Structure 1
């Protein structure tokens, strides 16, 4: 059911020319300039293909003071993110950066760090971050030269080092770490893999959750034992459970259906499906129902035709997907967990690229749009059986699966390799109980 059918509008709505007077919420609030009461107007909207935001506008009729503010109103990601960006040329200075309030920026080359929550979230570039740092250091230099000349001289020397970074006379790295997971760095080679950027997701600690205002219910109390007699395994597997949630597209209240089922020759999984009656958005997600395996798994399938397209496929929420022939790499957060077929997962990648801002945005880069269209054409050739490729699922949690065409083991086009996880992979899965603290 769409919002045109039932007359209900989403909570977060896109700004459109045919909607000149969207609903706003007016709240009487204190003016910080004259201490009298003014009016704050709040509007919930969304940046297409990015996130939900809250626009707030304050105006005081007594003194004329005005103030505007934008805040992120979208969800906090399930994991934090650490992005290590290598700056090898001046072109890298133009990369767009989306960073939240909780993003720390570190340049190890200069032992320089911008702490988390010291700056507001923004959309900027690498050069913009350096320029803003320079401007902040130069702000009180005139006063320092009078009151503390030696300190001012040291700061001048450091400012010169920051300015030298823009010349890129040598390669250096910038590290972005965001516990909210809402930081991203532009990939100029999209949709191909970004060789100059390394992205690592990590599970937040309890302290980091508290920084974001996330508290688990009864986290400070002893865990209560599960009453195994209350629900049997057969009852859980046979029942479709429903619980309230918010639509990931428009954030309106809706229902999610959840059911546990077993994939033949593999394991139990939890399938969740959400349909929003307001905007019509549909989503399906699959999560493992049996925890993390002792080893990671890497599955490679050579896709040669219709027989391989029909293989069942489970990509878990921790699985990386690659197609080496196309230089394609899809992270675990991009498609989430899915139970589909080989053809279905390739089609999902193709559809997501076709609907990306590189082709549909207001300010489309012609070069990137051309590369994207050529890449989509290659995926179409794969789906038509005209191009042979290798599909790789690399899952540190060991919860991904591709169907074999034989009853005993793997067939000649399917290869399964189990491996020991690295420290970083264990960290991503939240398995590193002991962490090195600063001292």
Structure 2
């Protein structure tokens, strides 16, 4: 284990941002200036953005030529899935959205056929306007040389720069796409906790080429010499395997067990407890194949006792509360086996407590009041003071809500089966699966 990893476990390297803490001082390192080749200084700070993740902030200055350079890098772990943010920029307010762009992320504007490939820019914490300014600055950097050596190319680039600058005025709508295989990039949703109609978020499984580019070593799965098919033994056994804590990256153990849910199906429950930082997490994976039909479960919450109903939310399930105009998209919160009250608490923590833009300079009074009011409404629902409906919409059909009247129908719960659309199958990766006719040409 490296020195940084040991200090990470003890919590001694990455400090919370706190203006009153005088002990948090940057580390100053003498560095070579790549502009004048004289010595300057780099200031490093290893810190944590509240409710977000660990980052490394570096700032270089040269006293000889006044050259400066700033950079932000993610110090946390690479996420399990990549992410694509697609934003329809329609107004100047959209230009001010805050963006966390990792160096592994690519940026595209289809209307201009413009793309910034991954690993060609350093990571940044900026706004959409800042991304455009950075792109313009990169194109303008070698323009004086181009005007001398190739005036025709310089004129075309100058025209393209003017088109990029016009985007900041939002005279016409355009699309911004950020594709990050590491999953560490982010575009702000100013309407949280409500769904942002202009912003779509898609998670995907990385390819082997993307894993290689990120420096991830993928271990090949090896079959056991004597595979066991005894499901009864697995149901009565808790499997334990080594892993790393997703919060502090310290060594931890994950427990896994196969559980049969009455009147539903078998699921795999995984729980991780970290002895170093006390972090706990649990995740549920549905057993068996994807169902032929999607499932939409609607529960009318009429009594505080409804809070104790068992609930299984798969990774493919979205959660809606129509009375609050709230929708929690697919893959948010991951898979969970909990209760209705537990799900509502997790939603409140995700939207209010763990929102990275609810602290520091990112927060505005209107946004803070709106999210605080949302949290109060969630509290009223859990206390049985609000009459609302909660909807679990799972295209894969792998989610479940307990029927306390089983095997009789539940008068407050409606279960609908529906045929998935092409878009649903695309999100689930089913359109690319071929299970029959392999020999056909």
Residue 293 (structure 1) shift: 2.6
Aligned to 2:119: 117
SS in 2 for 1:397: coil
1:426 and 1:203 mapped to 2: Cα distance?
Answer: 15
Q: Secondary structure at the match of 2:131?
A: helix
Distance 1:291 1:75, change over 3 A: farther
What secondary structure sits across from 1:387 in the alignment? Answer: coil
1:136 and 2:138 aligned: yes
**1:239 pairs with 237, 240, 252, which one?**
237
Q: Which residue of 2 aligns with 1:401?
A: 400
**Post-superposition CA distance 1:330-380 (Å, at most 9, x none):** 234432211112222112212333423478623332111111111112112
Report how many residues are paired. 418
TM-score by length of 2: 0.83
TM-aligned CA deviation for residue 81 of structure 1: 1.4
Contact in 2 for aligned 1:302/1:390 (Cα 8 Å):
yes
The equivalent residue for 1:145 is 147
Alpha carbons of structure 1 residues 320 and 389: separation in structure 2 relative to 1, 3 Å = same
1:33-58 deviation digits (Å, cap 9, x = unpaired): 899xxx99998643321122356799
1:330 match = 328
Structure 1: segments with no counterpart, 5+ residues: 1-7, 60-64
Per the alignment, residue 10 of structure 1 pairs with 11
In the other structure, the counterpart of 2:5 is none
Give the structure 1 partner of residue 49 of structure 2: 47
What is the CA distance between 1:107 and its match in structure 2?
Answer: 0.9
C-alpha distance in structure 2 between counterparts of 1:429 and 1:308, whole Å? 30
Distance change (3 Å), C-alpha of 1:358 and 1:178: closer
Which residue is equivalent to 1:62? none
- Distance across 2 between alignment mates of 1:423 and 1:181: 25
Change (3 A) 1:89 1:55: closer
Establish whether residue 293 from structure 1 lines up as the match of residue 323 from structure 2. Answer: no
Q: Give the root-mean-square deviation of aligned CA atoms.
A: 3.6
Equivalent residue number for residue 428 of structure 2: 429
| CA pair 246-44 structure 1, distance change in 2 beyond 3 A | farther
Residue 409 of structure 1 deviates from its aligned partner by: 6.5
Say if 2:310 and 2:340, in contact at 8 Å, map to a contact too: yes
Contact kept, 8 Å, 2:106 with 2:118, in 1: the verdict is yes
Distance 1:130 1:13, change over 3 A: closer
C-alpha distance 172-156 of structure 1, shift in aligned 2 (>3 A): same
How far apart in 1 are the matches of 2:354 and 2:269? 26
Please say if 1:373 is aligned against 2:372. Answer: yes
Aligned partners of 2:127, 2:73: CA distance in 1, in Å?
Answer: 20
Structure 2 contact 50–356 (Cα < 8 Å) conserved: no
Q: Which runs of 5+ in 2 are unaligned?
A: 1-8, 62-66, 435-441
Partner of 2:160: 158
Kindly indicate whether residue 202 of structure 2 is the aligned counterpart of residue 195 of structure 1.
Answer: no
Q: 2:184 aligned to 174, 182, 185, which one?
A: 182
Aligned CA distance change for structure 1 residues 109 and 136 (closer, same or farther; 3 Å) = same
Secondary structure, in 3 states, of the residue corresponding to 2:381? helix
Equivalent position of 1:259 in the other structure: 257
Query: Structure 1: how far apart are the matches of 2:14 and 2:139?
Result: 40
CA 1:198–1:30 in 2, change beyond 3 Å: closer, same or farther? closer
**Runs of at least 4 residues off by over 6 Å:** 21-24, 29-35, 39-43, 55-59, 65-69
Matched residue, 2:87:
85
Decide whether the 8 Å contact of 2:203 with 2:331 is kept in 1. no
2:327 & 2:162 partners in 1: Cα distance? Answer: 38
Aligned with 1:309: secondary structure?
A: helix
Conserved? CA contact 1:99–1:122, under 8 Å: yes
- Give the C-alpha shift of residue 324 in structure 1: 1.7
Task: Give CA deviations for 1:284-318 in whole Å, capped at 9, x if unaligned.
Answer: 22222324333332222222222432321101122
Aligned counterpart, 1:171? 173
Question: How far apart are the structure 2 equivalents of 1:134 and 1:68?
Answer: 17
Distance 1:66 1:84 in 2: 32
Matched, 1:20 2:3: no
Aligned partners of 1:78, 1:333: CA distance in 2, in Å? Answer: 11
Displacement after TM superposition at 1:206 (Å): 2.4
CA contact 1:94–1:127 (8 Å) conserved in 2: yes
Name the SS of the counterpart of 1:335 in structure 2: coil
